[in-house]
Structure 1
Amino acid sequence: MINLHDIRYVRLGTRDIEGASRYAQTILGLQLVRRENGRVYFRSDSRDHSVCYFDGDPQDHTVAFEVTSPAQLDAAAAQLEALHMDVRRGTADENEERRVFDHIVFHDPSGNRIELVLRPQASSRRYHGTRDAGIDAFSHVGLRTTNPIRDEAFWTTVCNARVSDRIGDAPLLRIDEVHHKIALFPSEYPGVQHVNFQVGSIDDLMRSYYFLLEQRVPIRFGPGRHPTSNAMFLYFAGPDGMIYEYSTGVRMIHPEEETTHVPRQFPFGPEGFCTWGAKPDIAEFSV
């Protein structure tokens, strides 16, 4: 089994790298790390970077997860190849781009590009965003799935993900104590559906809500509270059709609960997404 230690970064293609960079700093509140060769890197915590925008196809998305040893990386490559999945080892130049010691690349059954990285660099400096959004960490992604049942099986049998709860057929998957690091949403095509950042408190979330309204950034969903993770949330529009989310107060499922935890089933409708009555555009989570 592939032991995913933590989520590390997303790489997002864009046709307007300067516009995406302005958004990341002035709206999201991320910290610019560096620019190099058509790529711009941003921090949200102690990681070297959590978001990389690059000059390319806006539908070109990558999500990276960390593994903790060379043996685990080699075993992951062998396991994926045994399943007849195409696996490619990263080059030295690609490792340098990502600030990792080594990595492999593959696609999940829906076609989402996944990188498994070894020894990703941490930053020696404290994170401080351009805007005080109260961000604590890059926390999870929503991934599009063309077959939720098939992909749930992949992430929970080939990898170490566990189902915390389900909304309709959409599973929320944890790889550590956090309620979910991966959410699989039904779609007709692959890609990252949303990118989540944890903020320190409901005050941070609500300050951003009014800030986003003032900046005329479209609010996609919220403020609200998820009945699944118990997190308070706010979803809003980003460049190239990407959705970003701030949330706070996410539920933890501790090791002593692993043997007794039973995933709950919620309806794939407004009541399955928010306990307060906020109503999402369900199409945002299912196309």
Structure 2
Amino acid sequence: MINLHDIRYVYLGTRDLDSAVEFSTTMVGLQFARREGNRVYLRGDNRDHTLCYFEGDPADHTVGFELRTAAELDAAASELENGGHRVEWGTPEGCEMRRCQRYIAFRDPSGNRIELVWRPFDGSGRRYFPGRDAGITDFSHIGLCSTDPVRDEAFWTRVCNARVSDWIGAAPLLRIDEVHHKMALFPSKTPGVQHINHQVADFNDIMRAYYFLKERNVRIVFGPGRHPTSGAIFLYFEGPDGMVYEYSTGVKRITDETNHVPRQFPFTPEGFCMWGSKPDIPAFRD
């Protein structure tokens, strides 16, 4: 079994790099870390980077997960190859680009590009200093598109160490540590990252963001609201190339692995929000 330690980063292609970076820093509140050629690295916490925008196809997405040891990375490569997943070993140039010692890449059953990294760089002691004070505490989870959530749930829970916390319809919310979920698999006809979540300090940050974004004509697509699954208070808004960003706070932690029983919620607005907000997000409606 592949023991995912934490979600590490997201890479997104974009046709307009400058606009994507401007939105990420002035609207989302990420910190500009550096620009290298056609790539810009951004930070959402004290890690070296948590998001990288690059010039390319807006449908070109990559998600990186961290493994703890080199032996686990080697074992993961063998397990994936034995299961019929072609593994690409990272080159020295690729490692430098990702700021890690070693990595492998593969496609999950839906075709999402996934990277497993060993010894990713930290922030080298540099304090996270955001582009605006959005109250962000860390990059926390992603929504991932799945062409078959039942099949993909089996992959992430049998080949990897993910566990189901709850379901919304057929969409599983998956954890790899105590946090209620680090990944959610939403039905889709195509692969890709569906949304990117950053935790913020408290409810006040959610409401400040709501008014801040509305005044600047950023499209709010869901919330403010509260998830009945994780208990988190949330706000979703649309960024460059249609990417959805989420702020949330107060997410549930599951500390009793033995006795936790996943719950089934309906794939309706009530399954996503207990306050009555209705999503204007295709993945949450179709």
Q: TM-score, normalised by structure 1?
A: 0.98
Deviation at 1:282?
Answer: 5.3
Contact 2:47/2:122 (<8 A) preserved: yes
* Sequence identity (%): 66
- Please say if residues 193 and 285 of structure 1, whose CA atoms lie closer than 8 Å, have aligned partners that are also in contact: no
Contact 2:62 2:115 in 1 (8 A): yes
Q: Counterpart in 2 of 1:70?
A: 70
* 1:127 partnered with 2:128: yes
1:220 maps to amino acid: V
- Superposed, which structure 2 residues align to 1:1-287 within 5 Å? 1-123=1-123, 124-254=125-255, 257-281=256-280, 283-285=282-284
Q: Distance in 2 between matches of 1:187 and 1:95?
A: 31
Shift of 1:286: 5.7
- 2-structure distance, mates of 1:46, 1:10: 15
Per-residue deviation at 1:281? Answer: 2.6
Give 5+ residue unaligned stretches, structure 1: none
* Alignment root-mean-square deviation, CA: 0.8
Quick one: distance in 2 between partners of 1:144 and 1:85? 18
Listed one character per residue, the Cα deviations across residues 145-189 of structure 1 (whole Å, up to 9, x for unaligned) are 000000000000000000000000000000000000000000000
Count of aligned residue pairs for this structure pair: 285
- For residues 285 and 55 of structure 1, the distance between their equivalents in structure 2, rounded to whole angstroms, comes to 28
Structure 2 gap ranges (5+): none
Q: Is the CA contact (8 Å cut-off) linking 2:147 and 2:191 kept in structure 1? A: yes
TM-score between both structures, scaled by the size of structure 2: 0.99
CA–CA separation in structure 1 for the residues paired with 2:159 and 2:285: 24
Deviations 1:91-128 (A, max 9, x none): 00010001000000000000000000000011111101
Counterpart code for 2:174: L
Displacement after TM superposition at 1:276 (Å) = 0.4
How far did 1:283 drift? 1.9
2:77 aligned counterpart, secondary structure: helix
Q: Deviation digits for residues 65-113 of structure 1, max 9, x if unmatched?
A: 0001010000000000001111000000010001000000000000000
CA contact (8 A) 2:103 2:118 kept: yes
